[in-house]
């Protein structure tokens, strides 16, 4: 594997994001490796997985690989987008996934972390929901992931400002489970993993799926869904979407016009 490291210790699997040159940006190839690792661990009977970045990482993940976003005219976060497949795999795999966070988490990586079952972060961790930074129309199930993790008012603040929030604030609002001193983070995380691994895996797998089904049971009328999809098309067909992506690639501040 080129972009991750996979290890296993008894019933505990560990996946380390390892694409430092691009700050663990979630490219198609990196995501494919994480998905394959989760499927291998699930097939091999692992009972819990820790998903982490390299020890001491300044950036846990810079989010969706902007270089792989379409330049326009196509939904940038459609059903088969790598990020969508990663979130679905985390949510539907039998074993709990614990996100162990050091450093900054950006954009789609925040959704990836929130799709994990438990989030344990070092004090230096930050979380930034960034569609508004790039002019991207986030997708429906992604917004539901955020809404499952924080109140509507907080989701609006995170989405509209695109500003990073601290691990301490994320814990205070219940968006993550624990903030643990950097020097204790690994031991704390793997102690919890061991506790989970010693419990009944079938019971845990069924409760994980029950909670996924129940948490996702939000009525959206077909008309409501189609309206949202139509609004999203306006965004990804807009000048601002092109401008956001181009500005990132040209390493300059975007000049959004609202068109």
Binding residues (CB under 6 A) for ligand LCV: these are 22-23, 25, 59, 62-67, 69, 104, 106-108, 130-131, 133-134, 136, 138
User: Cβ-closest residue to ligand LCV?
Assistant: 107
End-to-end CA distance of the chain: 42
Catalytic residue among 63, 103, 107, 108: 108
Q: Taking the complex as a whole, how short is the minimal distance between the CB of residue 147 and ligand LCV, in angstroms?
A: 15
H or E segment at 165?
A: strand 165-166
From the list 63, 103, 138, 236, the catalytic residue is: 138
Closest CA to 86 of 116, 106, 57, 118: 116
User: Which CB, 128 or 196, lies closer to ligand LCV?
Assistant: 128
- Residue of 64, 104, 142, 244 with catalytic role: 64
Nearest CB to ligand LCV, comparing residues 3 and 106: 106
Nearer to ligand LCV, 127 or 138 (CB): 138
Q: Shortest gap between Cβ of 172 and ligand LCV (angstroms)?
A: 23
Annotation marks residue 64 as catalytic? yes
Alpha helices per DSSP H over 173-221: 182-197, 201-215
Residue 107 a catalytic site member:
no
Q: In this structure, what are the phi and psi dihedrals at residue 166, rounded to the nearest 5 degrees?
A: -75, 160
**How many CA atoms lie less than 13 Å away from 220 in the CB half-sphere?**
13
Tokens 């985390």 locate to 90
Cβ atoms of residues 3 and 14 within 8 Å: no
Q: Report, in Å, the least distance between residue 10 CB and ligand LCV.
A: 34
- In whole angstroms, the minimum distance from the beta carbon of 91 to ligand LCV comes to 17
* b/e burial code for range 177-190 (CB count within 10 A of at least 16 → b): bebbeeeebbeebb
Q: Which residues are catalytically annotated?
A: 64, 108, 138
């Amino acid at each position: 594997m080129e972009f991750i490291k996979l290890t296993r210790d008894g019933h505990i699997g560990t996946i380390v994001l390892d694409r430092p040159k691009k700050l663990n940006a979630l490219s198609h190839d990196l995501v494919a490796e994480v998905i394959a690792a989760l499927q291998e661990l699930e097939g091999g009977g692992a009972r819990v997985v820790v998903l982490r970045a390299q020890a001491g990482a300044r950036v846990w993940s810079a989010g969706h690989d902007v270089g792989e976003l379409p330049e326009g005219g196509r939904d940038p976060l459609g059903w088969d987008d790598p990020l969508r497949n990663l979130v679905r795999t985390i949510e539907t795999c039998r074993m709990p996934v614990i996100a162990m966070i050091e450093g900054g988490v950006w954009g789609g990586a925040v959704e990836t972390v929130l799709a994990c079952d438990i989030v344990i972060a070092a004090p230096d961790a930050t979380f930034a929901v960034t569609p508004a930074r790039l002019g991207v129309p986030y997708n429906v199930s992604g917004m539901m992931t955020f809404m499952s993790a924080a109140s509507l008012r907080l989701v609006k603040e995170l989405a509209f400002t695109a500003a990073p929030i601290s691990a301490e604030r994320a814990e205070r609002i219940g968006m993550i489970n624990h903030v643990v001193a950097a020097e204790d983070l690994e031991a704390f995380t793997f102690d919890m993993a061991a506790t989970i691994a010693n419990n009944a895996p079938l019971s845990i797998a069924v409760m994980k799926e029950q909670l996924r089904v129940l948490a996702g049971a939000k009525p959206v009328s077909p008309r409501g869904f189609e309206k949202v999809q139509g609004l999203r098309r306006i965004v990804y067909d807009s000048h601002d979407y092109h401008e956001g992506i181009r500005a990132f690639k040209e390493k300059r501040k975007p000049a959004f016009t609202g068109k």
